[in-house]
A and B are shown apart, each in its own frame.
Chain A
Amino acid sequence: MKIVVLGAGQVGAAIVEALHEDHHVTVVDLDAARLQAISYRYDVATVKGNGATRRVLQETGIGEAALMIACTSRDEINLVAATLVKKLSNAQTIVRTSNPEYLEAWQERQIEVDFMVSSELETARAVSQTIGVPAAKQTDVFADGQVQIVEFDVPAAGSGQTTTDAYDRVVSLPLKEATIPADSKVASIIRADRMLVPRGDESILPGDRIIVIGSPDAAREWSRIMARGDQLLDDVVVFGAGATGVEIARVLLDQRIRVRLVESNDERAREVAEELPDARVYCATGVDVDFLERERIGQASAGVFAMREDFKNLYAAMLARVHGIGFTIGIVHEPVSVEVFERAGIDVAVDPRSITAEEIVRFAHDPRIRQLAMLEGDRFEILDITVRETSKLVRTPFKSLPMTGSLIGAIVRDGTAIFPHGGDQLEPGDRAIIFTESRRVAEVEKAL
């Protein structure tokens, strides 16, 4: 298929590298030198110009494209380009953003883009995963965030790691016997690219990907269950409060992990302290030995180094190790640094640009598994239906509703989400959030 890529920076280059062999790729950038470099390396067409203009987009032949990836480092350019593409062609759009608020608006379907990726958030998730608490991949929210639909990768047991009790009470047991967190339901189990309906005798196995409907608290509880027990770290110091550092802190705080942020610029430190009331922010450099000593940084369970320069991160990480910190994660900006960091003994090196590119490429390859929002019209659908007065199911207890291969994940009554149990019943005017097989959509809509 034909793919248009906006931006020939590191993310763009990584995407081109992954896609150029199987697809017709056109790259757009303002910088002629970058375009030249990319076209010498890969067999792609290039257009020089501002991708957020109609003229340049038409020049790329966007009309025939199936996919447009806007991955410049400027959010607004990416968004304008995606908006234009929606009007100019039928291509699906992927937008890279560094602003969590755009991402939130997209999740609530207020921005018309097929897929949105934030380098900062993907990096933060990767860090969270490394620390042992996999952050939920939130794919959809309803009722002002009271109902979330999230995905988890179930960690494979037996890879030298012990599991927690909570994990053992959920995984490898028939669902009817498993201890599922309150206010949540397993909506689907994806095993080897097949989606299974989670009936009572089905069980979640290691290596599965599961989709859960539940409250934000339940989603957090699930991520605790999916955590690998022996590595659970609960006191993390993040060095560098740039966009990435802040996003890492935010994701970790969301997992109820204690976070300390160290930032050398006093104005930025203040800004971040205002933004994240739950984190403790310090204005210091990561290489101030007195500071490390005074704040007992060595006793923290992990250090994340997210400052702007790779060599600073490397030195600060080594220093923290000298002070006794157990686990170090470095954020790198040059692809080559990954190897440097790992050779130097940093436990994990995370490259945000390659993670972003991977995420985008994964979507480009197979949007079905990746994104629930994209399931529409396929095998499963999420319906958000208001229950009619005349529905036959009104005021019938849930336990006596007929099994139809669909599942009422939550109901929203007077603006409050309720996660129904067997004894609850539907009332007229409720908003029901239903996860159902596509062929049953008409049936479900009729029944309600």
Chain B
Amino acid sequence: MRRWVHVEVGASLNLVGALLKYLSLAFFFPIPLAVGYSEPWWYYAAAGAATAAFGWGLERATKGKEHVGIREGFLVVSLTWLLGSAAIALCYLLSGEDQLSRPVDALFEAMSGITTTGSSVVADVSTLDKSLSMWRQFTQWFGGMGIIVLALAVLPRLRVGGRQLMESEAPGPELEALTASIRDTARRLWLLYVALTVILVAILGTFGWTGVDERMGLFNAVAYAFSAMPTGGFGIDPRSLEGYAPASQWVLALFMTIAGANFALLYRAFVRGRPVALVRDEEFRLYLGLLLLASAAITAILWDAGISAGEEAIRQATFQTVSIMTTTGFASTDFNEWLVVAPAAAMLIVALMFPGGSAGSTAGSIKVVRHLVIGRVLRRELDQTMHPEYVAPVRVNRVPLEERTVRAVIAFVLLYVGAFVAGAVLLLLDAHRVDLDLSPFDALAASATTLGNVGPAFGFAGPMGSFEPFSDVSIGIMTVLMWLGRLEIVPVVALLTRAYWRA
């Protein structure tokens, strides 16, 4: 008999099962917290047990293989992220929290957490149980560096073929190995991530303890570190970081900037003690340059419009710029109001959802290096119009790129823009269907913010608002956009092509 499917679905599901089994361990994290705050904890255990049982069942029902190929890798990564979200959503449903009681909302919130988006359907986060609130922050933290990267660091099973899987998941066009072993690289990246998080908690905690920032208790410090390092964006206050001290806001801006930089580069610069590497890296230079430029522009607009002045103008502009461009999504002021008083600044905020952070960071969106590549391709095209015989490779950091890589970058950006426009149009159509007041600008912002894993949009879904007014269909669309954005579209979309399944 002719085989119709040439992807080893069984082996892929087997690996997905194994990954989910280990993922269920994460559900133990909030239990001591819940016990400590005398809140119910059974639903964490129940969701964890259900995930473990499902993973175990999937693993038993299928036959594993020593390693899966690149095709299976796409399936494994896509399914792991989808089912992982479902597991977290189950936990939200079981918790009995009113604001997350419907399956679509719970799945949206779960996907928003692990993809480090930070968009929320919860209208008032301050009413959540303490443990549930921290669990929400925690989902961002372990999603930030990548589920597969984590698995690669600890699971012996992924010793073979782990590189492909990690490449399908890791943000950015290419993976830079720090050491000869990909497993060792994954470990070092995670250690750096953990270390940076601990440092951030220590600084913010000290601010709270010494009275620099009265509101920043240890709980808050941990909650915001769990959100800033993965460039997530969930908060535990309804008004995000508005009420916090300027010192805390500056420190968070700094750590968001760090989180949006390439971790392999940070490792070389700080752990191996070669800070020159930062200056030499073209992507990092462009990344910082864009941040500074946008901050300066928004400062000027805010100052000119009389919204704020002096240190406050610089701080508001820098914090918002860093937060949006690194795809974190915190807010230190309600920039939704800028739509009326400083529309240029609002426009810039939406534009900043597209550069994204650096490749190999925890940030989402297109990534600065791709813009760098496209800029150079355009320059070469112009040159070749005048000089058709001119031959030149596109270089990044003096290293020539294969034409194939260049094409992949262009294709990705086109797919990304396509998904962004399609998302916005679908949201508008759906809003019209249910008679929701959604302006085209708000729809574009909502599509860009979910696809880019940023967080806040404009209108009712602004930084201090919530995605709750959207219809179930729109919530579903945006859940898919977040999933697409986190995995950089290709692994998911490839599953929809005939070529993927056939020989």
A→B interface (CB under 8 Å): 262-263, 266, 269-270, 273-274, 277, 280-284, 291, 294-295
With a CB–CB cut-off of 8 A, which chain B residues contact A274? 393, 400
14 contacts between A and B (CB under 8 A): A263-B391, A266-B391, A273-B393, A273-B400, A280-B390, A280-B392, A281-B390, A282-B387, A283-B389, A283-B391, A284-B389, A294-B387, A295-B387, A295-B389
- Take A274-B400, A277-B398 as given contacts and tell me if A282 and B389 are in contact as well, using a CB distance cutoff of 8 Å: yes
Minimal beta-carbon separation of B393 from chain A (angstroms): 5
Minimal beta-carbon separation of B400 from chain A (angstroms): 4
B63 sits at the interface (CB 8 A): no
How many chain B residues touch A (Cβ–Cβ < 8 Å)? 10
Which residue, B391, B393, B395, B398, has most C-beta atoms of chain A within 10 A?
A: B391
- The residue in chain A whose Cβ has the minimal distance to the Cβ of B393 is A274
- Bitwise, B380-405 to A at CB < 8 A (1) or not (0) is 00000001111111010010100000
Minimal beta-carbon separation of B50 from chain A (angstroms): 54
With a CB–CB cut-off of 8 A, which chain B residues contact A263? 391
With a CB–CB cut-off of 8 A, which chain B residues contact A270? 391, 393
Our pick among B387, B388, B392 for the contact of A273 (Cβ within 8 Å) is: B392
SS class of chain B's interface: helix, strand, loop or mixed?
A: loop
Our pick among A273, A277, A295 for the contact of B391 (Cβ within 8 Å) is: A273
With a CB–CB cut-off of 8 A, which chain A residues contact B392? 273, 280-281
With a CB–CB cut-off of 8 A, which chain A residues contact B393? 270, 273-274
Q: How far is the CA of A266 from the CA of B390 in the complex (A)?
A: 11
With a CB–CB cut-off of 8 A, which chain A residues contact B387? 282, 294-295
Q: How far is the CA of A277 from the CA of B398 in the complex (A)?
A: 8
With a CB–CB cut-off of 8 A, which chain A residues contact B391? 263, 266, 269-270, 273, 281-283
Total inter-chain residue pairs, C-beta < 8 Å = 31
Q: How far is the CA of A291 from the CA of B395 in the complex (A)?
A: 26
With a CB–CB cut-off of 8 A, which chain A residues contact B389? 262, 282-284, 291, 295
Quick one: which of B387-430 are within 8 Å of A by CB?
A: 387-393, 395, 398, 400
- The residue in chain A whose Cβ has the minimal distance to the Cβ of B387 is A295
Minimal beta-carbon separation of A275 from chain B (angstroms): 9
With a CB–CB cut-off of 8 A, which chain B residues contact A295? 387, 389
With a CB–CB cut-off of 8 A, which chain A residues contact B390? 280-282
Q: How far is the CA of A208 from the CA of B233 in the complex (A)?
A: 73
Q: How far is the CA of A438 from the CA of B442 in the complex (A)?
A: 83
Minimal beta-carbon separation of A93 from chain B (angstroms): 36
- The residue in chain A whose Cβ has the minimal distance to the Cβ of B395 is A277
New contact pairs (12) apart from A281-B392, A282-B391, CB-CB < 8 Å? A270-B391, A270-B393, A273-B391, A273-B393, A273-B400, A274-B393, A277-B395, A277-B398, A280-B390, A280-B392, A281-B391, A282-B389
Minimal beta-carbon separation of B403 from chain A (angstroms): 8
- The residue in chain B whose Cβ has the minimal distance to the Cβ of A284 is B389
Minimal beta-carbon separation of B392 from chain A (angstroms): 5
Q: How far is the CA of A119 from the CA of B368 in the complex (A)?
A: 45
Q: How far is the CA of A295 from the CA of B388 in the complex (A)?
A: 10
- The residue in chain B whose Cβ has the minimal distance to the Cβ of A285 is B389
Minimal beta-carbon separation of B228 from chain A (angstroms): 38
- The residue in chain B whose Cβ has the minimal distance to the Cβ of A268 is B391
Q: How far is the CA of A65 from the CA of B398 in the complex (A)?
A: 47
With a CB–CB cut-off of 8 A, which chain B residues contact A269? 391
With a CB–CB cut-off of 8 A, which chain B residues contact A266? 391
Quick one: which of B216-246 are within 8 Å of A by CB?
A: none
With a CB–CB cut-off of 8 A, which chain B residues contact A283? 389, 391
Minimal beta-carbon separation of B282 from chain A (angstroms): 13
Q: How far is the CA of A262 from the CA of B389 in the complex (A)?
A: 9
Minimal beta-carbon separation of A123 from chain B (angstroms): 23
Q: How far is the CA of A282 from the CA of B391 in the complex (A)?
A: 5
Q: How far is the CA of A271 from the CA of B400 in the complex (A)?
A: 10
With a CB–CB cut-off of 8 A, which chain B residues contact A262? 389
- The residue in chain B whose Cβ has the minimal distance to the Cβ of A263 is B391
With a CB–CB cut-off of 8 A, which chain A residues contact B400? 273-274
- The residue in chain A whose Cβ has the minimal distance to the Cβ of B399 is A274
Q: How far is the CA of A366 from the CA of B106 in the complex (A)?
A: 87
Minimal beta-carbon separation of A264 from chain B (angstroms): 10
Q: How far is the CA of A34 from the CA of B390 in the complex (A)?
A: 43
- Bitwise, B101-120 to A at CB < 8 A (1) or not (0) is 00000000000000000000
- The residue in chain A whose Cβ has the minimal distance to the Cβ of B398 is A277
Q: How far is the CA of A61 from the CA of B403 in the complex (A)?
A: 54
Minimal beta-carbon separation of B109 from chain A (angstroms): 48
Minimal beta-carbon separation of B250 from chain A (angstroms): 35
Q: How far is the CA of A291 from the CA of B391 in the complex (A)?
A: 14
Q: How far is the CA of A262 from the CA of B391 in the complex (A)?
A: 10
Q: What are the nearest 3 A-B pairs in CB distance?
A: A274-B400, A282-B389, A284-B389
- The residue in chain B whose Cβ has the minimal distance to the Cβ of A241 is B391
With a CB–CB cut-off of 8 A, which chain B residues contact A294? 387-388
Q: How far is the CA of A269 from the CA of B400 in the complex (A)?
A: 13
With a CB–CB cut-off of 8 A, which chain B residues contact A273? 391-393, 400
Q: How far is the CA of A273 from the CA of B393 in the complex (A)?
A: 7
With a CB–CB cut-off of 8 A, which chain B residues contact A280? 390, 392
Minimal beta-carbon separation of A139 from chain B (angstroms): 29
Minimal beta-carbon separation of A273 from chain B (angstroms): 5
With a CB–CB cut-off of 8 A, which chain B residues contact A277? 395, 398
Q: How far is the CA of A281 from the CA of B389 in the complex (A)?
A: 8
Minimal beta-carbon separation of A260 from chain B (angstroms): 10
Q: How far is the CA of A282 from the CA of B392 in the complex (A)?
A: 8
Minimal beta-carbon separation of A245 from chain B (angstroms): 14
Quick one: which of B347-398 are within 8 Å of A by CB?
A: 387-393, 395, 398
With a CB–CB cut-off of 8 A, which chain B residues contact A291? 389
Which residue, B388, B389, B393, B398, has most C-beta atoms of chain A within 10 A?
A: B389
Q: How far is the CA of A273 from the CA of B391 in the complex (A)?
A: 7
Q: How far is the CA of A21 from the CA of B210 in the complex (A)?
A: 93
Q: How far is the CA of A262 from the CA of B392 in the complex (A)?
A: 12
